[in-house]
Every structure is written in C-alpha cells, then in structure tokens.
Chain A
Amino acid sequence: GDSVTQMEGPVTLSEEAFLTINCTYTATGYPSLFWYVQYPGEGLQLLLKATKADDKGSNKGFEATYRKETTSFHLEKGSVQVSDSAVYFCALRIPAAGNKLTFGGGTRVLVKP
C-alpha cells in the first residue's frame, strides 16, 4: 500500500539555521505530494504541494522538490525563525484513487532564539 516515511524528531535548531526534513514515499499510483504544518493548538495547514515530478512547491521560505527517481519530497528552509516551531507532516494523495491523504508520522521542529 501507499506509505510516507519522514525523519523522526524532535529537531532542535537555532534561529537562522538551515532546516531539512527528509520525506520518502511509496505509492501504487502517481501521487501528489504535500507538506502540512501544525502550529501549537491549531489544526494542520497546507504548507506547500507538488503534483508532478520535478515540480517545486514553495511557501513562507520553505521549499520541497518532487523527486520521482528517489521517491522523495524533502522539506528545506534556509533560515528558520522561532515562529517556525511546529510539527511538519509529509503526505501523499493518489488523485486517481480517491481523496484521502496518507501521512507520515510528523516531525517536531523547535527553533530556539
């Protein structure tokens, strides 16, 4: 079946450090890929997405590139802020197979001033 694997946290960084969160997937079809973010006390919010190979999703300084050859969708940000402290979820959806999202386990990121 479809699955998403992302690095376990917590990841603790200093402000302005470089952040990478690895995400790899296995899928029975051609997936769309997503990163969701959950800030403390809030619901999951779509951070960025990519729907085909070599697409780059970007938002709020975060980027992720859909790499079909390595089945990966790693999240990166060049200079994190304290406000980026959150839990980040990688997810996939097979458009031809319905609406459900398959999530990774989430990675907690803590940015210290």
Chain B
Amino acid sequence: EPEVTQTPSHQVTQMGQEVILRCVPISNHLYFYWYRQILGQKVEFLVSFYNNEISEKSEIFDDQFSVERPDGSNFTLKIRSTKLEDSAMYFCASRIERTNEKLFFGSGTQLSVL
C-alpha cells in the first residue's frame, strides 16, 4: 500500500530555533494535513491544505507556524521560533479527495524542544 513518508523521525532543537518538518504525501493525493500529539494528550488537528493554500486551521496554528508545498511532492511544516510546549509528535496525513474518508498518516516526527 502507498505510504506517507515523514523525515526526520526525531528532531531535537533549542528553544527559539526554527524547525522544518518534512512530509512526502502519496503522489496522487490532493488534500494534506498536519496533526500533533503532545505526550499523554490527544491527537490535535493543526492545519489542512489544498490547492496550494490553507483550507482550515486550528487555534494552535498561530503565526509561528506555516506550511508549504514547495515542489509538488514535499509538504512542510515550519515552526519559526520553537517553544518548549511545541514538543510533540507531529503527524502528516493526506487524502486523495475531499469526499474520500480514508486519511493516510505518516509515522510521525518526534520534536523535542530543549
């Protein structure tokens, strides 16, 4: 079965640094998402992206966050100035079309902010 690929699997950074989390969605998918899970908490929606623009975002997704699909294959999440509370597992996901319920998730990037 096709896979969503996320790199790196673990990222350690210092508070205040910028990080970019990378995802390669499934090639014919059109809708892209980022979710995160802080240790011991629920998986939370961050943002959805379609047709090169954000279609929906949560309250968590403030000005420190941005997403981009720079080259038609990668889908990135950038955190401009990381905070301790950004430490979490970040999941990328993609869907082939809006009405298809099946969302494919990557295995996640564990971000640790020190």
Contact = CB atoms under 8 A, between A and B. Distances in A.
B56 A101 contact: no
Query: Interface residue tally of chain B, by bracket?
Result: 20 to 34
Residue with the greatest number of chain A CB neighbours at <10 A, chosen from B33, B42, B44: B42
Nearest to B56: A98
B35 to A, nearest CB: 8
A44 B105 contact: yes
* Chain A binding surface SS class: strand
Interface in A92-112: 93, 98-106
A46 interface: yes
A104 B37 CA distance: 11
B70 to A, nearest CB: 22
B103 interface: yes
A99 B42 contact: no
Given A43-B4, A106-B43, A99 B55 contact: yes
B91 to A, nearest CB: 6
A73 interface: no
A101 B103 CA distance: 10
Interface in A30-44: 32, 34, 36, 41-44
Interface in B60-114: 91, 93, 95, 98, 101-108
Interface of B: 3-4, 6, 31, 33, 35, 41-45, 48, 55-56, 58, 91, 93, 95, 98, 101-108
